[in-house]
Structure 1
Amino acid sequence: MGDRSGSVLVLTNPLDVTTDAVLRVLAERRVPVVRLDPGSDLHSGASLTAAYRTGGQRGTLRTASREVALSSVRSVWVRRASPYEGPSELGGQERRFAASQTLWGAGGILASFPVAHYVNHPWANRAAEHKPAQLAAAQRSGFAVPDTVVTNSADEAREFVAAQAGGAVYKPLWNTPYAVDGRPHAVWVREVDPADITGAVSVCPHLFQAKVPKAFDVRVTAVGDRLFGLRIDSPDLDWRRRQDRIACTPIDVPEPVACAVAAYLGRLRLVYGAFDFAVTASGTWYFLECNPNGQWAWQPAGTTDAIAHAIADQLQKGRDT
């Protein structure tokens, strides 16, 4: 790697064990790291200051164990920070006010370091999390995309689902916390037919998609221009539902798919992306989604280690000049 100096700032919660795999690599390379959970640390001892004037910007981040000038942060790894909820000792509108000010104040500072390389930039992450935006970018990047409709019209939904000769599925547009009888309940991808669709669709947009006649699934983890393909064989329509029943095997990524991945990352200004594909028996890779901050440490040890080193490479090198 190059001789870039400066600290790596990692924005994540204290229970994020996935981060540790990368931090171990950076420690071996003696790259200084500062870890911060802005949603909680900034009202429990940490401080963040930024000053702006014509021709310059300066600032300082102080945590319980580190002090770093904002101008010396070479990279920022945006992982799984806690939400901005405000200090627990406050209540009502005071807590909401503090949470909002932290989001717009600290969030703005942490997204605006003058020379840092972001993996990924938080605003790019947010923009890339919208599934309709993903599908639009996937089309323009050259991926095969299953026929899809996003609608709050029950009539439109029934017409679309009825027209799919191979069947259709429903997918939530966001992983919103949901409970049934007070117990957490996951909303998985599931098959749907016209009779299932009621007027309740009008409450909010729903995503319906042609069911891909897949032979297997593939997860492609992209870190810059490095791709890590993993074939996933599962008895379930949605392999995430019972991960203890999946079988994983490394797989090469076809050149056309690799080119589309590169175009997609460039279009949405991402360094990292976790792409999911459904692959047919004839070898067509259908784009399903790309999580710009998807988990990766659940993969086989060799793949996990390779991804950790690739992320460490990105963080160590800093921004290209």
Structure 2
Amino acid sequence: MTSDERPVLVVTNLDDPTADIVITELHDRGVPVVRFDSGDFPATLSCTASIGDTDRWRGTVQTPSRRTDLGAARSMYYRRPSGFAFPHLDSQDERFAVAHARYGLGGILASLPGCLYVNHPNRIGDAEYKPAGLAAAAEAGFMLPPTVITNVPCDARAFISAHGPVIFKPIAVPLYLVDGKAQTVPVTEVTADEIDDSVSGTMHLFQKRVDKIADIRVTVIGEQVFAVRIDSGLLDWRTDYGTHTYTPLVTPPAVERSMRACLKHFGLVFGAFDFALTGHGEWVFIECNPSGQWAWMEPPTGLPMTAALADLLEGGLRDQ
């Protein structure tokens, strides 16, 4: 049982089994936890905060069951809160209200004194830009597949002709519904003759397909690193989890140094890195997700990732 009464804030949506696991671990340790979804504002979430001649915000966030002192938070696990929405307003007033909620409530939650962020919401936003992530990875010394981002059809065809086989992958992952159900937009191979004028409608990311023998997911949690080889035989292993086998790996020192450089570049303490493993043993960087999933790999590997994340949140800034 901890003697530290400062709460850990968990900011995420209602349906987040990864957060559920971490909260259970913290509860078992006697660590106070307050969970809320910032997207519940203002229907079931309210906030008041003030600042004067000090550099510390003071105030509270209140849910139907809890009232939390913002100045007392030891850490914040910022996961995947739902977005602000004001469906009862007309479109112009809704834009105004969403902006005020984002920069008001969101700004306060991003400015808590003495709070360890895992990760800071603004830093998450920076790292979620794939072009920025690829640039940081190249600067950190990772091997990257040739990549182009374009809305010019002839440039896309030229890239495919020069580097084929080539894949198309989403640049961002907004909510995509089919018959009311959320879908993963898969990575797919694309040929030059499939490129038509519709490419000009927005930006598209094309990347040389890596000749891989497996995938690797490396989860960095504070000072701890957990690498797992994923054997699936699939171009995009996310499309069928039932085919996978998982094997813990030791991360090469050079790869770990580059991962640390990427995290430092964006100011992150957590990152889920994806690599393609070639037959020559090369770890080819694919991406780093600052809010990536990891919990599904813990049971088949026995890696103590939940405990590592709970350690980080429980320790707060004292361990940083």
Q: 1:186 to 1:301 in 2, by over 3 A?
A: closer
Deviation beyond 6 Å, 4+ runs, structure 1: 180-183
The match for 1:248 is 246
The match for 1:59 is 59
- Aligned match for 1:189, one of 183, 187, 190: 187
- How many residues align? The count is 318
SS in 1 for 2:217: strand
The match for 1:211 is 209
The aligned runs of 1:34-49 (5 Å cut-off) are: 34-40=34-40, 42-49=41-48
Kept after mapping to 2: 8 A contact 1:217/1:279: yes
The match for 2:267 is 269
Deviation at 1:116, TM superposition (A): 0.4
Q: 1:159 to 1:18 in 2, by over 3 A?
A: same
Residues 1:285 and 2:288 aligned together: no
For 1:17 and 1:304, the matched residues in 2 are separated by: 18
SS in 1 for 2:35: strand
- Aligned match for 2:256, one of 251, 255, 258: 258
After superposition, give the CA deviation of every residue in 1:170-219 in whole Å (9 maximum; x if it has no partner). Answer: 11111234456887654311112221222222111111111111010001
Deviation at 1:14, TM superposition (A): 1.8
- Aligned match for 1:312, one of 293, 310, 318: 310
The match for 1:85 is 85
For 1:276 and 1:105, the matched residues in 2 are separated by: 34
Residues 1:23 and 2:62 aligned together: no
More deviation, 3-12/275-284? 3-12
Q: 1:138 to 1:91 in 2, by over 3 A?
A: same
Query: What letter matches 2:105 in structure 1?
Result: A
For 1:210 and 1:55, the matched residues in 2 are separated by: 53
For 1:106 and 1:195, the matched residues in 2 are separated by: 48
Unaligned runs of 5+ in 2: none
SS in 2 for 1:163: helix
TM-score, normalization by structure 1: 0.92
Residues 1:146 and 2:145 aligned together: yes
For 2:219 and 2:72, the matched residues in 1 are separated by: 29
Deviation at 1:290, TM superposition (A): 0.9
The aligned runs of 1:92-107 (5 Å cut-off) are: 92-107=91-106
The match for 1:228 is 226
Deviation at 1:304, TM superposition (A): 7.1
After superposition, give the CA deviation of every residue in 1:68-88 in whole Å (9 maximum; x if it has no partner). Answer: 2221111011011111113x5
The match for 1:162 is 161
Q: 1:271 to 1:196 in 2, by over 3 A?
A: same
Query: What letter matches 1:264 in structure 2?
Result: C
